[in-house]
Amino acid sequence: MTFARAHSIECLATLPRTPDWVTSGRAETPEDVAFSSGAALAHLDQVLARNEVPKALLRERLALRAAEASVTFSGRSERARELRDAVHLLRPGDLPGPAGGDYLAWRRAAERPVSIKSLSRAVPTLEQEQIAMWLDAGQGAPVSRAAMVLEVVLTDAPRDELSALILTDAALAQALGWDYLVPLLAQGLNLTDFGKRGEDLRLACHRAVASSAAEAVRFSADLARRTAHLRAVVPKLRAKAAKEAVEIFLTRDAVTPSALPLPNRAARRLCDRLIDLGAVRELTGRETFRLYGV
């Protein structure tokens, strides 16, 4: 084992894991649930501060999970494979379709620092003044503030769950002092929660945050391990611009060979080499129009 590989494993071993009592599901009272969600967020905040966690890639993976949830809330059946195809195989001038549009919205919301302008780019159907007004509706502690934003958006636009969820995660990020939106709420809520208001909705948001933040910590540890291995194999790559290509894999959920800074044939060979080294995976199971990711 090389020194770099051994050092990576040592670093990953120090990533704090979520305490079992946070994820046990035993919290019953509103106070217990709020305490669990706060502990889960504090733990995730510590993990996101670690250099070995690929934060851009983590947000992309969580955006994909959030898009799956949003699509389900809309009554559609597309899952990760279809969502990736809808976005990554788009040709210039093509439209991604409703499900792909949800995925694009989540990716755009999470890829730039939170601002009214970046949120308007993610949900262009909303006016910037409307976004600012809704975000200002939240007050108090982070999850309470997020729940208030979710409630006011669902009250004003009851059929726009996508915008409501994106703005709720944006409000949570702002309350926590995070520069970037981290998709959390969508994965933890269910369709019946959108009909709740007041304390019932706040409690649903606390439960959603507790479970989703713990899952984000698990994702972080897994991606940290995978990206450490990817970085470790870079010296074994002979292709020109291989290092630049690896940097793309370190920030994106899925990559087409054409997205790499190499001629198409060389890019495909590099992807195959990375698969042989156990550094990336082929995500589609197809022989053509393939996608690759860490």
**CA 120 to mean position of chain CA atoms:** 18
**Which two tokens mark 97?**
């379709």
Tally Cβ neighbours within 10 Å of residue 58.
25
pLDDT of residue 20: 65
Burial (0-12, 13-18, 19+ Cβ within 10 Å), 28:
exposed
pLDDT digits (tens, 9 = 90+) for 56-108: 999 999 999 999 999 999 999 999 999 999 999 998 888 899 999 999 999 99
Q: Among all chains, which residue has been given the structure tokens 């995925």? A: 103
Query: What average pLDDT is seen over the chain?
Result: 91
pLDDT of residue 86: 95
Q: Which of 6-10, 95-99, 150-154, 205-209 is predicted with the least confidence, judged by mean pLDDT?
A: 6-10
Among 91, 122, 127, 89, smallest CA distance to 107 is for 122
pLDDT digits (tens, 9 = 90+) for 157-167: 999 999 999 99
Q: Name the band, by pLDDT with cuts 50, 70 and 90, for residue 29.
A: confident
**CB half-sphere exposure, 192, CA atoms < 13 A:** 3
The answer on pLDDT for 2 being more than 70 is no
Name the CA dihedral angle for 189, 98, 85, 191, rounded to a multiple of 10 degrees: 10
Mean pLDDT of 249-264: 96
Mean pLDDT of 216-237: 95
pLDDT of residue 155: 96
Task: Pick 283 or 20 by higher pLDDT.
Answer: 283
pLDDT digits (tens, 9 = 90+) for 187-200: 999 999 999 999 99
Mean pLDDT of 49-55: 95
Tally Cβ neighbours within 10 Å of residue 32.
12
In angstroms, the Cα distances linking 17 to 13, 22, 36, 42, 219 are 10, 11, 14, 12, 11
Mean pLDDT of 119-134: 97
pLDDT of residue 8: 46
The answer on pLDDT for 3 being more than 70 is no
Tally Cβ neighbours within 10 Å of residue 159.
10
The answer on pLDDT for 254 being more than 60 is yes
pLDDT of residue 195: 95
Share of residues in the chain with pLDDT > 90 (%): 84
pLDDT of residue 157: 95
Inter-residue contact 208 to 36 (CB < 8 Å): no
- Three-state DSSP at 93 gives coil
Mean pLDDT of 108-128: 97
pLDDT of residue 30: 83
pLDDT of residue 9: 45
Task: Pick 2 or 158 by higher pLDDT.
Answer: 158
Rg of the chain over Cα atoms, rounded to whole angstroms, equals 20
Domains within the chain, CATH numbers bracketed: 3-225 (no CATH), 233-293 (1.10.10)
